[in-house]
Amino acid sequence: MKKLLSIAVSVALASGLSACDRKTKTETPEVKPEIASAADLRRRIEKLASDEFEGRAPGTPGGQAASQYIADEMKAAGLEPMGENGTYFQAVELTSVTLQPSSSMTIKSGGAPVLESDIHDGATNSVFWSKKTAPSLNVKDSDLVFVGYGVVAPEYGWNDYEGLDVKGKTVVMLVNDPGFATQDPELFRGNAMTYYGRWTYKFEEAGRQGAAAALVVHETKPASYPWEVVSGSWTGAQDDLNRPDGGANRTSLEGWLSHEAAKSVFAAAGQDYEALKNSAKEKGFKPVSLGNLKLDAQIDQKVKATKSRNVVGGVTGTKYPDEYVLYMAHWDHIPMKKGVEDGIYNGAVDNATGTAAVLEIGQAFVQQGTPERSAIFVAVTAEESGLLGSAYYAAKPIVPLKQTVAGINIDAILPVGQTKDMIVIGYGSSELEDRLKAILEPRDMYIAPDPTPEAGYFYRSDHISLAKLGVPMIYSDSGIDHIVHGKQYGINFDDTYRQERYHKPADEYDNSWDLSGIEQTSEILFQLGYELANSQDWPNWYETAEFRPLRDAMRAK
């Protein structure tokens, strides 16, 4: 990092240029040098990604130790404890569910098995689980029906369940949404995935419709990740927030089918998978029964209450202590697979990098001098289990959401080196982008929209938990336009990571990493939040953003 030495001039420039800076002429305090070092980032990333923490899974000894390490680092950096009871922790109550060896799922035709799955088959063609917390669940002779994308979206005039009663049935769905399938910018959001394309929505909607079971068909391109990500993420213990109703509103079985498995299942029903997939992207699509196919499932599971914790530190503002700028990153990763060679999912990029960056930025806030507003730094748990730690924080915020000025989310910064751009996931959403642009321009840098909007990353990281309640959030990463090697180098770097290391044991720290880009990103995002903390501005979502009405209503109160 350039030790933040250059920030003094650029902060002053940004203060005058920002499009949403209209209410104050507050001068940003002079920025002091020698704030951060490559050694700090390297030390923290290497520690968080070490085998010592065994993948940093929530509710495990490794996860407990990792969260304690983060709290210790916050204390050493000079951040105040802002958790519960004067600590750095916010307890997050979870339910951990583990399938037992007696569990199985079978799709049969006329009594003959078409697909058989259990926890011994290595998840080669399917995975399944339940969000219900009963120790034993049974699905018997459940008819299979193909429901296209499994979407009910009145604003788009789309209902894949129209006229269909799925009670007791198994719904089979495609991943992503019709906009991606058609590339029609007038349908949903065209190539950019909407929330309706996320598996989280599809399983929730199947439960609302009363289905007994729900299966999503995996394909690498519309999912944006290979089958190994599915099999690695959905086997072993699964965490969820405590559900007072025991998951009564969910299907008894949720799961994925591989592309090849789905084609075989459809063929057994006398249907052509590709033909049905093609018909599902058209308005007016009608669900299709998969003949005499039936699903049987026995789910036996070990259910236990467990606890994890968000780690929370901050600084208290000098003039406006009840107004907060928020930084967020998730500290967790995937549980260790016991009995497997190299079964530790270290999560070096995802998300030791983001957690280290938040610690670095928090340290910079302390060393620069307390800003006028407060700043809160939250390392959340259980992101990999479905954004659970951030959802818990959003439901039980440490500071009121209406007093949260804005938030900055940092998730998985690739060690690609310095770039000419910064990627904004969900580009075109909030006025925070104007402030970021004003910071980048003096550096001869630019904002790049998410290059893969079809992957739906805007709905796949922790900022969305607060965005859905109205808080303006920005999720920005380092870019791909390398200062020496150009864009293709960055694209190839990203593709290699996604294919070979993302959600795999290979996501390990390497001492040869070029951390200059992570330093660059940390420096810029520090400046973004520090400037905002020394103003009285309240940046909002853009008028066209789906969350703008929520924020307007929040601010009106």
pLDDT in tens, 158-175: 999 999 999 999 999 999
Q: What is the DSSP letter of 351?
A: I
Same domain? For 168 and 211 the reply is yes
Share of the chain above pLDDT 90, in %: 80
Count of domains for the chain = 2
Residue ranges of alpha helices (H) inside 212-368 are 220-223, 227-233, 259-268, 273-280, 354-368
Say if strands 253-257 and 320-330 run parallel, antiparallel, or are unpaired: unpaired
Same domain? For 263 and 373 the reply is no
User: Residue 143: what pLDDT?
Assistant: 98
Contact 506, 334 (CB under 8 A): no
Same domain? For 382 and 424 the reply is yes
Run of H or E including 126:
strand 126-129
**Of 41, 46, 48, 80, nearest to 63 (Cα)?**
48
In a domain, 1, yes or no: no
User: Residue 457: what pLDDT?
Assistant: 87
Domain-terminating residue out of 270, 303, 336:
303
What are 128's strand-pairing partners?
255
**Average pLDDT of the residues of the chain:** 91
pLDDT of 6 > 50? The answer is: no
In a domain, 283, yes or no: yes
**Of 5, 58, 24, 41, nearest to 363 (Cα)?**
41
In a domain, 135, yes or no: yes
pLDDT of 8 > 80? The answer is: no
Say if strands 473-478 and 421-425 run parallel, antiparallel, or are unpaired: antiparallel
Same domain? For 340 and 291 the reply is no
Same domain? For 25 and 117 the reply is no
Same domain? For 83 and 126 the reply is no
From residue 462, alpha-carbon distances to 92, 317, 325, 366, 458 in Å are 15, 25, 16, 25, 9
Structural domain of 173: 97-303
In a domain, 103, yes or no: yes
In a domain, 362, yes or no: yes
From residue 304, alpha-carbon distances to 104, 240, 455, 524 in Å are 21, 11, 33, 42
Contact 204, 171 (CB under 8 A): no
- Mean pLDDT (whole number) for 455-459: 87
**Of 396, 399, 401, nearest to 309 (Cα)?**
396
User: Residue 35: what pLDDT?
Assistant: 55
In a domain, 426, yes or no: yes
Same domain? For 227 and 371 the reply is no
Residue type, 388: L
Rounded Cα distance, 524 and 438, in Å = 11
In a domain, 2, yes or no: no
- Mean pLDDT (whole number) for 499-510: 94
- Mean pLDDT (whole number) for 228-234: 88
- Domain holding 435: CATH number? 3.40.630.10
Same domain? For 239 and 205 the reply is yes
6-10, 228-232, 363-367: the lowest-pLDDT one: 6-10
In a domain, 295, yes or no: yes
Same domain? For 90 and 108 the reply is no
Rounded Cα distance, 202 and 43, in Å = 40
User: Residue 182: what pLDDT?
Assistant: 96
User: Residue 38: what pLDDT?
Assistant: 81
pLDDT of 27 > 80? The answer is: no
Domain-terminating residue out of 284, 303, 322:
303
- Mean pLDDT (whole number) for 44-71: 96
Same domain? For 315 and 328 the reply is yes
2-6, 136-140, 178-182, 401-405: the lowest-pLDDT one: 2-6
pLDDT in tens, 187-223: 998 999 988 999 999 999 999 999 999 999 999 999 9
What is the maximum alpha-carbon separation in the chain? 76
Q: Residue 198 in 3-state DSSP?
A: coil
Domain-terminating residue out of 303, 323, 346:
303
Same domain? For 237 and 273 the reply is yes
Same domain? For 187 and 262 the reply is yes
- Domain holding 127: CATH number? 3.50.30.30
Q: How far is CA 109 from the centre of its chain?
A: 38
Burial of 495 (0-12, 13-18, 19+ CB in 10 A): exposed
